[in-house]
């Protein structure tokens, strides 16, 4: 179904064309003695203006439809590009998730501690994690402390750095950039 603005433009274009045709018929059916008077000049002006407006409107409508077809083609191309990217990212994230789960297993985390660790890595607060897990905030804090103790990490920042520190965009450099000094 065509959109409402396109239907309106098309209707206005055809109405203007019909007005130009009707004005021409009216002018031709007038008696020849009126053809060279002011009345005929006004009718000719209206016919010409109507025909010009109809032509411009219909031409603009065709150009808009062509442009819209180009945009739809580009969008379809981008959608397939997006779908390919999402598939690649999904595979990479699945691999990362499996590697993280193996590491959580090596640390000996319980299922609840693993879940808390994932929420911490995603940036959720203890309170938000408690709400999502339907546990008390105190329980979530205890699980977080246990995650840090079992992993040997000092806190959320070190936990995040453990998994994500080396996640850099591919580059043509052999060494990672140096960390800024703390002093």
Give the CATH number for residue 128.
Answer: 1.10.10.10
DSSP assignments along 79-105, one per residue: HHHHHHHHHHHHHHHHHHHHHHHHHHH
- 141 domain residue, yes or no: yes
Task: List Cα–Cα distances, 12 to 52, 53, 57, in angstroms.
Answer: 13, 9, 8
Domain that holds residue 54: 1-86
Residue whose C-alpha is closest to residue 156's, from 120, 129, 127, 130? 120
Q: Which tokens sit at 110?
A: 């319980």
Provide the greatest CA pair distance for the chain: 107
Residue whose C-alpha is closest to residue 144's, from 132, 162, 164, 159? 159
Q: For each successive 10 residues of the chain (183 residues), what is the average pLDDT? A: 70 79 78 72 80 82 88 89 87 87 95 96 95 96 97 94 76 58 54
- 174 domain residue, yes or no: no
Q: Both 22 and 57 in a single domain?
A: yes
Q: Both 80 and 118 in a single domain?
A: no
Q: Both 9 and 80 in a single domain?
A: yes
Q: What is the pLDDT at residue 112?
A: 96
Residue 179 is classified by DSSP as P
Q: Both 118 and 81 in a single domain?
A: no
Q: List, in order, residues 6 or more apart from 84 with CB less than 8 Å away.
A: none
Q: Both 63 and 126 in a single domain?
A: no
User: What end-to-end distance do the CA atoms of the chain give, in Å?
Assistant: 66
- 56 domain residue, yes or no: yes
User: Into how many domains does the chain fold?
Assistant: 2
Q: Both 46 and 121 in a single domain?
A: no
Nearest-angstrom CA–CA distance, 96 and 124: 19
Q: What is the pLDDT at residue 168?
A: 63
Q: Which tokens sit at 60?
A: 């603009």
- 97 domain residue, yes or no: no
């Amino acid at each position: 179904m065509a959109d409402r603005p396109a239907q309106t433009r098309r209707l206005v274009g055809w109405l203007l064309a019909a007005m130009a045709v009707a004005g021409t018929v009216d002018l031709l059916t007038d008696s020849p003695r009126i053809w060279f008077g002011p009345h005929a000049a006004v009718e000719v002006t209206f016919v010409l203006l109507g025909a010009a407006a109809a032509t411009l409107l219909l031409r603009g409508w065709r150009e808009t439809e062509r442009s819209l077809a180009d945009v739809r083609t580009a969008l379809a191309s981008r959608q397939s590009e997006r779908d390919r990217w999402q598939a690649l990212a999904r595979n990479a994230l699945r691999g990362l998730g499996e590697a993280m789960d193996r590491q959580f297993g090596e640390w000996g985390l319980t299922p609840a501690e693993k879940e808390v660790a994932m929420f911490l890595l995603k940036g959720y607060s203890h309170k938000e994690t408690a709400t999502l897990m339907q546990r008390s905030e105190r329980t979530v804090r205890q699980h977080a402390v246990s995650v840090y103790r079992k992993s040997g990490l000092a806190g959320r920042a070190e936990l995040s750095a453990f998994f994500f520190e080396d996640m850099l965009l591919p580059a043509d450099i052999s060494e990672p950039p140096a960390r800024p000094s703390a002093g």
